[in-house]
Amino acid sequence: MKSCLVVDDSRVVRKVARKILEDLKFECTEAADGAEALARCKERMPDAILLDWNMPIMTGIEFLKKLRLERNGEKPVVVFCTTENDMDHISEAIRSGANEYVMKPFDSEIIESKFQEAGLV
């Protein structure tokens, strides 16, 4: 079973995403901001990370840049999942090492399609 870390400051979004990912046979853990996510990753690198952008304490993009410098930090497939939906944000995410990008609102079909693109399902 592959593991996925769901990072979002909204508990509702985490819950919805988790349900979709569990249906895709991912074992999920959660974090409410970038700093917590980084701590999770230091304990154990997940196979995939579903990552919000705007969060308190540490944003998704700050987290991603730090993650990619960690030991084994290049391994997780990172899929952004954010309301930011302009080309500048998308480009910055991909330049910073994201593998795929979901623009909210999302549904199970989009998550499945994007995880497929990223080679996860």
Cβ atoms of 111 and 80 within 8 Å: the answer is: no
Cis peptide before 76 (omega within 30 of 0): no
Which three-class secondary structure state does DSSP give residue 25?
coil
Pick 10 or 83: Cβ nearer another protein:
83
The interface with another protein within residues 66-105 (CB under 8 A) comprises 85-87, 90-91, 94, 100-103
Cβ atoms of 7 and 37 within 8 Å: the answer is: yes
Binding mask 29-58 for another protein (x = CB under 8 A): ------------------------------
| Site of interaction with another protein (CB under 8 A) | 85-87, 90-91, 94, 100-103, 106, 109-110, 113-114, 117
